[in-house]
Amino acid sequence: MVCFKRLEENFQRLSTIGKQDGGGFTRLAFGDADWEARNVIIELMKTAGLTIRVDAFGNVIGRREGLYSEKPVVMLGSHIDTVPNGGNFDGVLGVLGAIEALQCLEEQQEQNEHPIEVVVFMAEESSRFGVATLGSKAFCGKLSPEKLVQYKDKDGISLGDAMQQRELNPANIRQAQYQGDIKAFLELHIEQGKVLETTKHQIGIVTGIAAPTRFKAIVTGQADHSGATPMNMRQDALTAAAEVILLVEQLARKVAHLGVVGTTGVIKAEPGAMNVIPGRVELGIDIRAIQLASKQWVVDELIAGIDKIKAQRSVEIEMTTLTDETPVELLEEMVEVLQDVCKQHPYPNMLMPSGAGHDAMHLASLAPTGIIFIPCQGGISHNPAESASMDDIVAGTEILLTAIRKIAKVDFSWKKQ
C-alpha cells in the first residue's frame, strides 16, 4: 500500500526549498533551488533502491532493475522546477508519486520482469529560457546544440552557459538522447484545471495533450510627446498592440468549442513614461489546441489580421515563432489499460484531454504514453495557492502503482534476493 505519511513528509521536505515570502516557490531551471531539490530527489531515489545516472542535459534517471534487464523499460517521470512564485505540486507530484510507487515494490520485495526507470526532466517550465519541456526534448533527441546558444534568460545567460555552471558539457547534448527501448511511459500530474473538482472525479485519464504555438511580437511605431502629437499623426505601438491582444482573444473564442485557447501573457511597452507615446511594444502570445487544424486556423487568421493592423496603424509588427508544437493524441490502448486499472480501485474517474503541455507529449513519440490526473484545489496552478489534497495524491499514486504492476509484469511470487 502507498504510505500516506511518507508521501506527506516528502512533499513537506521539498516545500522548504525555494520558498518565497508570498507563500509560493521559485525553483528556476539550473538555479540553486532547483539543484537543491534535485539532490533531495536523488537521495529519495537511492532510499527506494534505485540506481542513479545523469544524462548529458542533467536529467536524473533512477533505475529499478528487472528480472530481464534486456526487456524494454517501463518509464515514469515528471519535473521539479517551477514558475516564479509557483506551487509545490506541478511536476513534483509525478516525481514523488513515482518514487513512492517503487518504494512500495521495494518494501514488499516484489520483482518486476521489465526494468523500471523514474526520470526527473530538467527545465520543464519555460520561465527561465522562454521554452518549455527542454529536458524531455533533449531526452527525445529534439534539442540541437544551436538552441543551447539561442535560448537565454533575462540576464543574458544562455542555456548552454547554465549547463556549464552545473558542470554539464553543452557539446555533448546529443548524448542526452535516450538509447534504450521503452515499453511505456506514465506521468502522474495535477490537472491544472477545474474539471475534476467540478465534476467530483478523483482521477482523470488523459486522452490527448494540447500543444502550443508561441510568438514573440515586436510592434514598432514612433515614440512622441503625448501632448504635442495630434491623434491623427500618431504611430502608437501600444494601441496597435492592444488590437493584436484583442484579436488573439477573438479568434480563440470563435473556435473555443474545439478546445482552442489564446493568451497574451507578456506586454513590455517602451519607453514606459506617461507623457510619451509608446514607440515599441513586445508581446508574448500563446495559442494552444487539442487539434492541429483548429490551432493552425487561429495562427493563420492572426497573421492575416496583424497585416491589416500594420496598415491601419502605420506600424511595423515583427512576428518570431518561439515554438510550434503538434498536439498529441495518446494511444487508445494505453487509455484502456488505465481504465482497466481504475476498475480495481474505488476512485471515481473520467476520460479528459489535457490543456496544459507535459513532458509526456514528447515521450509519446517514443512509446505508448499515459497520463493520470488528480484534482487541484480550485483548478489553480502556477500560483502560490496551488494545492492538492493528500487523499487525492495517494489515490493517484495507487493508480500509478497498479499500472506499474500491470505493465512491468510484477509477480508477487518472485521475491528479491
**pLDDT reported for residue 415:** 39
- Does 313 carry a binding-site annotation? no
- Does 189 carry a binding-site annotation? yes
- Does 125 carry a binding-site annotation? yes
**pLDDT reported for residue 71:** 95
In this predicted model, what pLDDT tens digit does every residue of 316-329 receive, in sequence order? 999 999 989 889 98
Ramachandran category for residue 91: left, alpha or beta (phi over 0 → left; psi -120 to 50 → alpha)? left
Mean pLDDT across the stretch 74-101?
A: 97
**pLDDT reported for residue 252:** 97
- Best CATH choice for the domain 211-324 from the list 3.40.50.11440, 3.30.70.360, 3.30.420.480, 3.40.50.920: 3.30.70.360
CB burial readout 208-224, b (16+ within 10 A) else e: bbbbbbbbebbbbbbbb
- Does 345 carry a binding-site annotation? no
- Does 100 carry a binding-site annotation? no
Q: Are 30 and 163 in contact (CB under 8 A)?
A: yes
What residues contact residue 101 under an 8 Å CB cut-off, 6+ apart? 2, 76, 397, 400, 401, 404
For CATH 3.30.70.360, list the domain ranges present in the chain: 211-324
4-210+327-415 fold: Aminopeptidase (3.40.630)
Mean pLDDT across the stretch 70-84?
A: 97
Tell whether omega for the bond before 84 is within 30 degrees of 0, i.e. cis.
Answer: no
- Does 63 carry a binding-site annotation? no
- Does 79 carry a binding-site annotation? yes
Q: What's the CA angle centered on 96, arms 57 and 399, to 5 degrees?
A: 120
**pLDDT reported for residue 206:** 96
Secondary structure percentages of the chain, helix, strand, coil, to 5 = 35, 25, 35
Tell me the pTM.
Answer: 0.83
What DSSP character marks residue 256?
A: G
- Does 288 carry a binding-site annotation? yes
Of all residues in the chain, the percent with pLDDT exceeding 70 is 98
Mean pLDDT across the stretch 203-220?
A: 95
416 has a pLDDT exceeding 70: no
For CATH 3.40.630.10, list the domain ranges present in the chain: 4-210+327-415
CA distances (Å), origin 331, targets 51, 191, 328, 350, 361? 30, 19, 9, 16, 12
DSSP β-ladder status, 60-64 and 116-120: antiparallel
86 pairs with which residues across the strands? 25
Beta strands in 2-59 (DSSP E): 51-54
188 has a pLDDT exceeding 80: yes
Cell numbers describing residue 109: 520485495
Q: Are 246 and 230 in contact (CB under 8 A)?
A: no
pLDDT level of residue 1 (50, 70, 90 thresholds): confident
In this predicted model, what pLDDT tens digit does every residue of 157-181 receive, in sequence order? 999 999 999 999 999 999 999 999 9
pLDDT level of residue 411 (50, 70, 90 thresholds): low
Going by C-alpha positions, the residue among 385, 387, 384 that lies closest to residue 84 is: 384
User: How many residues appear in the chain?
Assistant: 417
